[in-house]
Structure formats: C-alpha cells, structure tokens
C-alpha cells in the first residue's frame, strides 16, 4: 500500500499531464484558484484530477482513478481576473476520496509502476523499436522537434519513454488518459506501439492526399478516413459529430419531392462534401441546398370543400361584394368536383380602402389555404420575381419561390398586391417576368434563376390586386380574370362601420359597449363630413380616433359611459373637413358639370368656358392631361363642322379665343370621359345658351360626334347623386354597366343614354 495524504486539487477535462512534463494553462474557476492558493501556502504541490468528458458535475465516480501530483512553478493573476499556472508534473497518484463537493481537496495514494524489470537485451530491443517508430512518426508530423527525438534516444527507461512519447504525440483526450491509467509498463508500451503504427499509417495517407499521388487506398477508405477525422475534430470542438452532408441526406430522405428533384439535391450535397468547409463557395452551396430542402415540392395542404361554411366566412368578414364572393364559391364548387382543375388567376381592381387585401385573407380562411402576401408596389428588378443567378454575390430566390418557402405547401393562396404599381427599368421587365407566373399553361414549370429546377405553381391560387386596370400591362391583364371592387355607397359604408369597424376598433382600443356608444347619426355624419374616399380606410381611422379620445376621458375624468352623437361629434373629431360637391345655384352659359373617376372614387367636374375676341387660339387650363386636351380639340373640331346649324358665323373660330378651364387646377386630371362635357360647354358659351344645373354627363367624343363608352360608371353615378344632380347622360354603349349598378344608387336619377353628340345637344341644349 502506497503513502496516503491529503492534497489541494484542481480538475481538468481538456488536457492530459504525463510525468516529467511542464504545462502552462489558465484556471477559469474560483475553486481551482482557491486550491492553488492552498498549495502555495504549503509545499506548492497540487493534485491534478482528470474529469470524464461526458460528465458535467464533479464526484469521485466522474473522475479518472489516476491523476498527477504536480508542483506549481509559477502563478500569475491576469487582468481579466483569471489565474495562469505553470505546472511541473511529478508522478502518478490514485484518488482515494474526494473531500468536498467541488473536489478542491482530495485524499490520494501514491502508486508504483510494474513490469520494468525485464531482461537487458529484450529491453534494448523494445527501446529501439519504439524509438524507430517515433522517428518515423516525426517525419510526418511537424510538432515533433529534434530535441524531443534526442530526449527519447537518451532515455533508457521503458516507462519514461512511453510517458514522454504519449505526452508529445497528438492523441485524443481519452486515449492519453487510458495510457496514463495503465500502470503496467509492458501493457502501456504495447498499446503505444499500436497507436503509433496507426498514426503513422494515417499520416502517410494524409501526405499522399496532399501530394495527390496515386495510392492503393480505395475511395471508400479515403472518405471513411476523412469523415472520421471530421467527426473527431467536431467532437473535440464540442459540436455535433454527425457530418453536415449526412444531416442534409437525412432531411432529403424525409423530403416529399420527385425523383429528379431528389437526384439534383443529392448531387449538390456530394459537391458540398468536396468543398473546403470554410470557403465562400461552400457557404453559397450550403445556402442553396438548404433552400432546395425547404421548398414544398410535393407537399400540399387539404382544401375545404364545405361551400356553406366558406359562404358563412365570406359573409361574416365582408359586407356586399357579391360578385367576388360568388366567383370564389364557384371555384370551390369546381374544385370539389374536379380536384385537378386549374386554379383561376383573379385580379381584384378597385380604389384603395375597399377591402381587396382583406378579401384575399378571408378567401384563404374560407378555403383553408396558407396565405402569403407579396407586395409588388415599386418592384423594379426582374430578379425580385425570377430570383438571382447563383453566380452573383448575395444571390437569393425570387419573391414567388420565397413565398412558397414561407407557406410550406405548394398550394397556398398567394396575394400579388398592387400589381399595377410594378415598374419596369433597365434591370428587367417585371411585368414580363410575371407573365410566366400567371400563365396557367406555363407556370407548372416556372424556372427561378436561383433554384434552377422547374417549380410547379399550377396549384397556387393567385389573387392580384390593383387600383387601376388601365395601369396593368395588356399581356398581363389578359392572363387574369378581373373582378371590379367598386366604391362603397354611403349606405354600404354605414353598414360596414356598424357591423365590422366598430367591433374591430373597440377591441383594438380596449373598449366595451358599456364604455362607448356611437349612434347611427354620428356614423352617417363621419361618412358625409369627415371622409372623402371610395373605401372605408379613413372612416376606420376616424372611428379609431373617437375610441382613443374616449379611452382618455374614461381614465382621466372617470366617465363610465360616453355617447357620441352627430351633435357632439366635433368634440371628438374637430371641425368638419369636407362638404359634398353640389350642383350650381343657377343655370349659366358656358358651365357644364362633368363626371370623372379617380383612384379614390368618383367626383364631379365643373367645366367652365369663356369666349373672347382674339386670333382663334385655344387655351386649356386646370392641370389637364394629354387625353383631355385631345378630347377638347376633337370637340371643337366637331362644333366647327356643325357651326352653321347653330347659326355660328364661319369666321367666329378665327376671330375669337376659347378658354376651357376646370377648377381645382392643382389636381391633375386626365382620361377619356370629358369629351361631350367640354363640347357642350363650348357650344353653350359661344351661343350664350345656359345649360341646366341639374344635368351631368360623361362620355368621349370623336371628330364625327360619336359618343364612346367610358369606365368607372358606378363611382360617377354615385358622385352625381351626392351632388344633387337629377339627370345623367351616359354613352349608350355603357347601358349594360348601368344595369349592373344597384337601384339604391340609381334611385332618384334619370339616366339618359346617348350614342352621338346630336343626342346630347337635343337633350340638354335644344330643350
């Protein structure tokens, strides 16, 4: 039995000390620093215990039995409060007992090595053998310096030689500790011989790989060696030893995709394994593989086929919009009967705030589809649709593929918001890129530049939104089924506010019905006097403003119930902001009211004309666009052709100037809808015949006096009714559009259809 003594101890799990070694390392724990302080107060001896790597706490069972008695040669306190030690190892010792829970004090017993007493010639043979192997090992490993070889050659103890070589050779932590714990010198020697031979063989393979020479080592053996080495390195670093390509292959097995897609990904994984893991090319390749694995190649969600439930959801979320709802339910019915039917590409066109985006959300909920929104407003680069080529730095997939990746399924509802605002520049034609996306004949093999593999978009339900159909490029327009989401009437706004917006804003602002009441009169006044829009966005903001002020009064003044009426509405919203356009107070010559469509709804335009002596010049003011200027010129040309009928002198147009003006000149105005209005106003001014203030008109004129169809009839009719107009003249070609407008809007209006300028003048001028 050896000598037993108590010693201060430090526990390590990263380095191994062999006898007669000096080592320099830092202490990172307070316990280790405390043990060193105890040692310095005594004989400067400290016991180094080695912890098993897989264990996280310290106990006798979690420590290797054999440790090392060492002497502290130097101790330094660093600026970061850590302690740096220089230790000189002495001899092995065995742990008998751990005396505290942090192992800062242990009971150790000295141990003796066995097997050194062997025959002289056998000992010499053993020493020569291991020296030769060590020299051979040094040829392949630059960490072995010449003085180390000299030390081995001059050491005649087998135990000391094996300990020195073990401390010098780069070996895993556990392997070195197994040699340290082997007290039988012969067993330790034989084990070290095996290790050295293996290391020399590995070093030879490494050297051959570097030189790229032909060697009789199979490809499988090389790959096995490299993967094992990579695993060992990762294990030393505390990382997951499972190789990266193995992880990717594991994910590939789970991927729902075609054989062609899987083969392509497998090829890319193999390519990644051959690249330098830290290189930029490997990073690009890694990102590409991750994108391919995250795409839903054949993964689909199950659509609902319950038409009744879908109708309930759409009706609950939105008031009116019957055309949109009916089209979606038709699509659902067809899908229920034919699961392989093509998904329609619907484009919702209408003014801002009419609920186009929220309709798409409701459709996704009704169909039980994943919802993805892609905003195209201001998109100028084709690569944002088709993706970047992988040769570019920072390449990434386009918005379409990124949307699929976000959805996680190949059949989501994808909203292409503001498709009319996608612009074209030198960086590519974005609208042309969208053609392939939205063409049902092509999108089953959509090719994203980054992905490089055809992506199936045929299962995606595309819904696009736009404020103006005229701004959508014609080829793109033809690929979509356009549904107009028209302006809301005052009655529709009232119902939307009462049934949807109040509840929504009460929840957002933490209010309940018992706290705040907004009566019907107040809602109607908000619509008439505080908002001027086609949709309900501003209306919602005003309701939100009332809720905020009510919340402040409840907390500040302690009011239990606040009631908002038309009478006290100004206390919450201030003075009235708008007043409706109204008809003129009297009939006047040269003033005719026209109707116009704007992105925020319909409006009336009071077109004024003055005739003055001059040189036959035409003056156009009021921020008119090119189309309206051309309409004015066409109208005057037509009037000159019929001048004799209205007893206008043939020299009149050469001797007089005509000035056409549209008030509110700061607001740009353009579009093919004011031709007949301007022509009527000019004739009225020339002949000094007043036009009825109760009449408004819209329509385009040709040189021969034909009246052409125009758009935006619902908004225009609504604006006319709001202004108090009684009679509205519209092109005969728009009769079908007028018949679709609800009776609520047309009620109280006389709609007169005209096909030529002759019909217009007979109705409003000659009568």
Structure confidence at residue 670 (pLDDT):
64
pLDDT digits (tens, 9 = 90+) for 440-491: 777 778 888 888 888 888 888 888 888 888 788 888 888 888 888 877 777 7
Global confidence as pTM: 0.58
Judged by DSSP in three states, 462 sits in strand
Q: Quote the pLDDT of residue 469.
A: 80
Asked if the model's pLDDT at residue 363 lies above 50, the reply is yes
Given this model, what pLDDT does residue 278 score? 61
CATH of the domain at 651: 3.30.230.10
Task: Write down the pLDDT at residue 215.
Answer: 47
Q: What total of structural domains would you count in the chain?
A: 6
- Provide the pLDDT confidence category of residue 15 given band limits of 50, 70 and 90: confident
Task: With beta carbons less than 8 A apart as the criterion, state whether 760 and 680 touch.
Answer: yes
pLDDT beyond 80 at 582: no
Cα atoms in the 13 Å half-sphere on the side-chain side of 480: 29
Distance set, CA 371 to CA 217, 304, 394 (Å): 55, 14, 27
Does residue 237 lie in a domain region?
no
Q: What is the helix (H) or strand (E) element at residue 325, kind and residue range?
A: helix 322-337
Q: Would you say residue 678 lies in a domain?
A: yes
Per-residue DSSP letter, 399 = H
Contact in structure between 513 and 340 (CB atoms under 8 Å) = no
Q: Which of 13-27, 319-333, 721-735 has the highest mean pLDDT?
A: 721-735
Q: Is the pLDDT of residue 240 over 70?
A: no
Q: Is the pLDDT of residue 262 over 50?
A: yes
Same domain, 165 and 61: no
* Same domain (yes/no): 543, 633: no
Same-domain check for residues 565 and 467: no
Nearest to 100 by CA among 49, 25, 53, 66: 49
* pLDDT tens figures, 599-623: 666 788 888 999 999 888 888 888 7
For 728, half-sphere exposure in the C-beta direction (CA atoms, 13 angstrom radius) is 32
Assess whether pLDDT exceeds 70 at residue 339: no
pLDDT above 70 (res 292): yes
Q: Are 394 and 465 found together in one domain?
A: yes
Structure tokens that stand for 667 in this block? 């607001």
Q: Quick one: pLDDT at residue 234?
A: 62
Asked whether residue 629 falls in the same domain as residue 688, the answer is yes
Q: Examine the domain organization and report whether 497 and 406 are in the same domain.
A: no
Domain shared by 470 and 494, yes or no: no
Q: For the segment 532-544, what is each residue's pLDDT rounded down to a tens digit?
A: 777 888 888 888 9
- What does the pLDDT read at residue 170? 85
Task: Please report which confidence band the pLDDT of residue 512 belongs to, taking 50, 70 and 90 as the band edges.
Answer: confident
Q: Are residues 536 and 623 in the same domain?
A: no
pLDDT attached to residue 236: 65
Tokens 């291991």 sit at which residue?
A: 130
Same domain, 563 and 635: no
pLDDT reported for residue 730: 92
pLDDT (average), residues 99-114: 84
Contact 606, 667 (CB under 8 A): no
The verdict on 267 and 392 lying in the same domain is: no
Domain that holds residue 689: 591-764
Domain of 403: which CATH number?
Answer: 3.40.50.300
Catalytic amino acids? 673, 716
Q: Is 464 domain-assigned?
A: yes
Tell me the average pLDDT of the chain: 82
pLDDT of residue 114: 87
Distances (CA, A) of 659 to 609, 629, 632, 636, 761: 6, 12, 11, 12, 21
> How far apart, in Å, do the first and last CA atoms of the chain sit?
134
Positive or negative: CA dihedral 174, 180, 186, 190: positive
Report whether pLDDT(659) > 90.
Answer: yes
Asked if residue 746 has pLDDT above 60, the reply is yes
CA angle 93, 60, 55 (to 5 degrees): 115
Residues 700 and 756 in one domain: yes
pLDDT tens sequence across 705-719: 899 988 888 888 888
Q: Identify the domain boundary among 425, 460, 480.
A: 480
pLDDT confidence band for 666 (50 / 70 / 90): very low
């Amino acid at each position: 039995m050896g000598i037993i003594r108590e010693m201060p101890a430090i526990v390590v799990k990263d380095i191994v000390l062999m006898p007669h070694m000096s080592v320099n390392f830092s202490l990172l724990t307070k316990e280790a620093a405390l043990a060193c302080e105890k040692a310095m107060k005594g004989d400067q001896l400290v016991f180094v215990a080695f912890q098993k790597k897989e264990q996280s706490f310290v106990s006798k069972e979690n420590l290797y039995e054999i440790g090392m008695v060492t002497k502290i040669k130097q101790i330094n306190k660093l600026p970061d409060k850590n302690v740096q030690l220089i230790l000189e190892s002495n001899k092995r010792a065995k742990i008998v007992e751990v005396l505290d829970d942090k192992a800062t004090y242990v009971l150790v017993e000295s141990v003796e090595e066995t097997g050194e007493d062997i025959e002289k010639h056998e000992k010499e043979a053993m020493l020569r053998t291991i020296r030769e192997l060590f020299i051979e090992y040094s040829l392949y490993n630059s960490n072995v310096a010449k003085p180390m070889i000299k030390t081995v050659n001059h050491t005649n103890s087998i135990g000391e030689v094996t300990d020195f070589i073990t401390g010098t050779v780069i070996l895993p932590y556990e392997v070195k500790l197994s040699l340290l714990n082997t007290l039988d010198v012969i067993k330790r020697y034989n084990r070290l011989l095996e290790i050295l031979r293996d290391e020399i063989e590995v070093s030879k393979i490494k050297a051959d790989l570097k030189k790229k020479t032909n060697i009789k080592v199979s490809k499988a053996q090389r790959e096995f060696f490299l993967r094992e080495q990579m695993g060992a390195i990762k294990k030393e670093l505390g990382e997951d030893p499972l190789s990266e390509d193995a992880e990717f292959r594991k994910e590939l097995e789970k991927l729902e995709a075609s054989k062609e897609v899987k083969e392509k990904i497998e090829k890319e994984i193999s390519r990644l394994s051959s690249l330098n893991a830290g290189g930029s090319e490997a990073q690009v390749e890694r990102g590409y593989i991750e994108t391919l694995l995250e795409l839903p190649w054949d993964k689909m969600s199950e659509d609902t086929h319950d038409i009744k439930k879908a109708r309930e959801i759409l009706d609950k979320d939105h008031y009116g919009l019957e055309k949109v709802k009916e089209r979606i339910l038709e699509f659902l019915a067809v899908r229920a009967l034919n699961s392989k039917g093509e998904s329609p590409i619907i484009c919702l066109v209408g003014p801002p705030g009419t609920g186009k985006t929220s309709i798409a959300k409701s459709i996704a909920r009704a169909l039980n589809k994943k919802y993805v929104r892609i905003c195209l407003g201001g998109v100028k680069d084709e690569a944002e649709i088709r993706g970047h080529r992988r040769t570019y730095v920072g390449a990434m997939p386009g918005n379409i593929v990124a949307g699929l990746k976000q959805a996680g399924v190949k059949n989501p509802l994808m909203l292409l918001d503001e498709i009319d605002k996608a612009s074209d520049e030198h960086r590519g034609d974005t609208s042309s890129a969208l053609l392939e996306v939205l063409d049902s004949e092509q999108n089953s093999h959509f090719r994203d530049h980054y992905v490089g593999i055809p992506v199936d978009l045929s299962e995606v339900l595309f819904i696009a939104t736009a404020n103006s159909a005229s701004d959508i490029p014609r080829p793109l327009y033809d690929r979509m089924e356009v549904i107009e989401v028209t302006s809301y009437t005052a009655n529709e706004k009232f119902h939307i506010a009462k049934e949807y917006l109040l509840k929504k804003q009460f929840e957002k602002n933490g209010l309940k019905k018992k706290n705040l009441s907004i009566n019907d009169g107040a809602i109607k006044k908000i619509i008439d006097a505080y908002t001027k829009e086609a949709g309900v966005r501003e209306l919602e903001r005003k309701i939100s403003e009332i809720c905020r002020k009510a919340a402040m009064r409840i907390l500040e003044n302690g009011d239990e119930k606040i009631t908002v009426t038309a009478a006290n509405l100004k206390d919450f919203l201030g003075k009235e902001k708008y007043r409706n356009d109204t008809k003129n107070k009297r009939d006047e010559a040269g003033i005719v009211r026209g109707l116009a469509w704007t992105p925020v709804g319909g409006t009336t335009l009071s077109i004024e004309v003055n005739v003055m002596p001059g040189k036959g010049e035409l003056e156009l003011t009021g921020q008119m666009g090119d189309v309206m200027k051309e309409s004015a010129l066409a109208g005057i040309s037509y009037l000159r052709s019929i001048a004799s009928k209205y007893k206008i002198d043939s020299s009149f147009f050469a001797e007089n100037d005509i000035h056409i003006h549209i008030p509110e000149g700061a607001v740009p105005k353009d579009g093919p809808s004011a031709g007949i209005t301007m022509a009527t106003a000019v004739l009225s001014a020339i002949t000094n015949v007043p036009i009825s203030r109760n009449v408004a008109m819209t329509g385009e004129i040709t040189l021969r006096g034909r009246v052409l169809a125009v758009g935006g009839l619902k908004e225009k009719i609504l604006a006319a009714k709001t202004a108090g107009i009684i009679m509205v003249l519209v092109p005969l070609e728009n009769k079908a559009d007028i018949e679709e407008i609800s009776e609520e809007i047309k009620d109280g209006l006389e709609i007169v259809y005209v096909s030529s300028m002759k019909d217009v003048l007979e109705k409003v001028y000659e009568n």
